[in-house]
Structure 1
Amino acid sequence: MVSPHHLLKIATALSAVALTASVAVTPTYALQDIAIEDAVAQSGSVTADNGVVVQSDGQTGDQQSQDSMPDNPNAKLPGTVSDEISDDATVVSEDLAVTPEGEVKNIETGETVTDATLVGTQDQQPDPLAKTNGESFIPVSAEDVKNAVADANVQLSKFEGNEYGAHWGTYNNTKAFFDYQNNLFVQQAKGVIDVSEWQGDIDWAKAKADGVEGVIIRLGYGWGNNADKKAQRNISECKRFGIPFGIYWYSYADTPSIAKEEGAGVVAKLKRFGVRASDLAYPVYYDLEKWTWKGHQPPTDPNVYN
Structure 2
Amino acid sequence: MTNNTSDLLPVGAHALSADPRLAAAVRDFGRTYGYDYFDDATVRRTLAEHEAALRRLGRGGLVWAGSLATAVGIVWLIWAATGDPDSMPVAVAPPVVLLALALAAFVQVNLQGRRRLRHPFLEGYRHVLAAARAHGAPVSFVPAWLTGRGGAALDMAPLPSYGTPAGGRSTPVAPPPKPPEVEEYERIAEQGGWHDEAGWILVVAGAVGVGYAVVKDLPAAYASALLAALGIWTWIAGHRLGRRQRELSGEARRYLDELTRAQAAGAPVHELSPPLRKLLDTRL
Q: Which has the higher contact order (CA 8 A, sep 6+)?
A: 2
- TM-score between both structures, scaled by the size of structure 2: 0.27
Structure (1 or 2) with the larger CA radius of gyration: 2
Q: Which has the higher helix share?
A: 2
- TM-score between both structures, scaled by the size of structure 1: 0.26
